[in-house]
């Protein structure tokens, strides 16, 4: 135990305390042992600050680790490390979590930064229809397709798994030892999975940010994801794309970009209704084009559904609760005409309320120095 900083042990005990508290409150199950295979990580922190005189106040910021711009980082208790991507500005943080994904080590820490959401968005309302063929169809005619590399990497992964289908990582109970080739294969497999995850994460982050910047009210369908996964023809396509993650990201970005995410009722017939005359007809999944039997309108199936989402009646809509942070609505009292009275910028806002919020931004950096291996 003396080899490592004591903060590692104290932070894991703190996590254990939190786990027990959550269990007693009935929020989660009984704490389980941490697996080294899943979520291999530990936390270090700068423990105490500098007290120049005994019994008096601590020097401000002396209990925080100062991070200088550049490709080097000093982690309290562990020393200096090289980073792959430079830290862009001078900042400070107290807690650092070091984690491993496949064969790479990362450090993550959070900064207290005041984030000011954009005052106005380009467009007021958008409906988004998620689909398997085309990842997302927006009601203004834009489409978002999933990256090709996602499918390619998935195929590669499948081939790799098929070729190595007989390798066993070993089983201590049955007395089977893992061969060197099996060990190598499992490391390679982990790298492939991490790569696939990175592609998906990058795609989802970029699209949700783009949407949150452009539109103010975002309407999506309440997808029955678990029900769709049960349909085995659709399951692979849906779980690959990460529809649930897409919605989760859009909802937590509400606080960051000042958007409103609205969910349209699951049973609202968005794909069966004609977006022009409101005629309802049955639309099996194979029919890609909506041709209305009443008014003769011909439209792409997904686009028709997206337009219907924007026109959905109010009683079919509910707001998505913001899980991360709370946005205090500050009324601009000084300027009732709709001018921003908070930042004294005098900018005319479309909405009366100007939003201001302190967010905890989490940064993740790849460590170059493979000292833990």
For Zn ion, the closer of residues 295 and 344 by Cβ is 295
Shortest separation between residue 113's beta carbon and Zn ion, angstroms: 50
Q: Does the footprint of Zn ion cover residue 294 (CB under 5 A)?
A: yes
- Asked if 343 and 118 count as a contact pair (C-beta separation under 8 A), the reply is no
Query: Binding residue for Zn ion (CB under 5 A) from 58, 66, 277, 324?
Result: 277
The Cα 154–Cα 175 span in angstroms is 33
Quick one: which of 64, 213, 272, 279 contacts Zn ion (CB under 5 A)? Answer: 279
The residue within the footprint of Zn ion, chosen from 138, 292, 305, 306 (CB under 5 A), is 292
Tell me if 348 contacts Zn ion by CB under 5 A: no
Q: Does 176 sit near Zn ion (CB under 5 A)? A: no
Total residues at the site for Zn ion (CB under 5 A)?
8
Per-residue burial over 296-325, b = 16 or more CB atoms within 10 Å of its CB, e = otherwise: eeebbbbbbbbbbbbebeeebbeebeeeee
34 binds Zn ion (CB under 5 A): no
Look at the alpha carbons of 194, 198, 204, 208 in this order and tell me if their dihedral is positive or negative: positive
* Between 10 and 297, CB nearer to Zn ion: 297
Stretch that binds Zn ion, among 98-106, 260-268, 295-303, 337-345 (CB under 5 A): 295-303
Residue 281 CB, shortest distance to Zn ion, in Å, is 9
Identify which of residues 167 and 272 has a Cβ nearer to Zn ion in the complex: 272
Using CA atoms, how far apart are residues 1 and 3, in angstroms rounded to an integer? 5
* 274 part of the interface to Zn ion, by CB under 5 A: yes
Which of 119, 225, 276, 353 contacts Zn ion by CB under 5 A? 276
3-state secondary structure of 47: coil
Residue 153: φ, ψ to 5°:
-65, -40
167 CB neighbour count, 10 Å cutoff: 17
Beta strands in the chain (DSSP E): 40-45, 65-67, 70-75, 79-87, 91-93, 95-101, 104-115, 123-130, 136-138, 143-144, 215-221, 260-264, 289-291, 298-300, 317-319, 329-331, 353-355, 357-366
Query: Nearest distance from residue 277's CB to Zn ion, in Å?
Result: 3
Nearer CB in complex with Zn ion: 98/303: 303
CB closer to Zn ion, 191 vs 279: 279
Residue 272 interacts with Zn ion (CB under 5 A): yes or no? no
Contact call for residue 19 and Zn ion (CB under 5 A)? no
- Taking the least distance from each CB to Zn ion, the nearer of 71 and 287 is 287
Angle of helix 243-257 versus helix 232-241 axis, rounded to 10: 30
Give the interface segment with Zn ion, choosing from 63-71, 231-239, 271-279, 349-357 (CB under 5 A).
Answer: 271-279
Position 295 contacts Zn ion (CB under 5 A)? yes
Burial of residue 24 (number of CB atoms within 10 Å: 0-12, 13-18, 19+): exposed
Of 94 and 297, nearer to Zn ion (C-beta) is 297
Measured between alpha carbons, how far is residue 352 from residues 120, 319, 332, 333 in Å?
Answer: 11, 20, 7, 9
Binding site for Zn ion (CB under 5 A): 274, 276-277, 279, 292, 294-295, 297
């Amino acid at each position: 135990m003396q080899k490592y900083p004591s903060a590692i042990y104290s932070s894991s005990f703190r996590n254990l305390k939190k786990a027990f508290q959550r269990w007693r409150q009935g929020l989660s199950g009984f704490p389980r042992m941490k697996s080294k295979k899943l979520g291999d990580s530990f936390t270090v922190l700068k423990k105490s600050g500098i007290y120049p005189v005994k019994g008096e106040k601590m020097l401000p910021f002396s209990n925080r680790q100062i991070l200088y711009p550049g490709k080097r980082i000093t982690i309290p208790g562990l020393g200096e490390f090289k980073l792959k991507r430079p830290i862009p500005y001078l900042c400070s943080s107290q807690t650092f979590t070091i984690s491993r994904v496949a064969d790479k080590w990362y450090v993550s820490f959070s900064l207290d930064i005041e984030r000011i959401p954009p005052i106005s968005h380009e467009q007021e309302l958008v409906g988004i229809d998620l689909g398997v063929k085309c990842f997302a169809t927006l009601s203004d005619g834009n489409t978002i397709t999933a990256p090709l590399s996602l499918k390619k990497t998935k195929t590669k992964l499948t081939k790799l798994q098929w070729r190595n289908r007989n390798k066993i990582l070993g089983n201590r109970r049955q007395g089977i030892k893992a061969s060197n080739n099996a060990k190598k294969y499992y490391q390679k497999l982990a790298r492939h999975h991490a790569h696939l995850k990175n592609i998906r994460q990058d795609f989802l982050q970029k699209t949700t940010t783009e949407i949150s910047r452009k539109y103010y009210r975002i309407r999506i369908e309440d997808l029955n994801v678990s029900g769709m996964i049960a349909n085995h023809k659709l399951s692979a396509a849906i779980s690959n794309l990460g529809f649930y993650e897409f919605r989760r990201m859009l909802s937590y970005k509400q606080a960051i970009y000042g958007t409103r995410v609205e969910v349209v009722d699951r049973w609202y017939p968005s794909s069966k209704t004609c977006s022009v005359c409101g005629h309802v007809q049955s639309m099996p999944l194979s029919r890609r084009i909506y041709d209305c039997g009443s008014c003769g309108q011909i439209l792409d199936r997904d686009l028709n559904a997206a337009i219907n989402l924007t026109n959905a009646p109010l009683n079919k809509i509910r707001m998505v609760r913001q899980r991360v942070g709370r946005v205090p609505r500050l009324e601009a009292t000084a300027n009732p005409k709709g001018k921003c009275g908070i930042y004294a910028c005098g900018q005319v806002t479309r909405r009366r309320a100007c939003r201001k919020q302190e967010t905890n931004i989490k940064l993740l950096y790849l460590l170059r120095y493979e000292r833990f291996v």
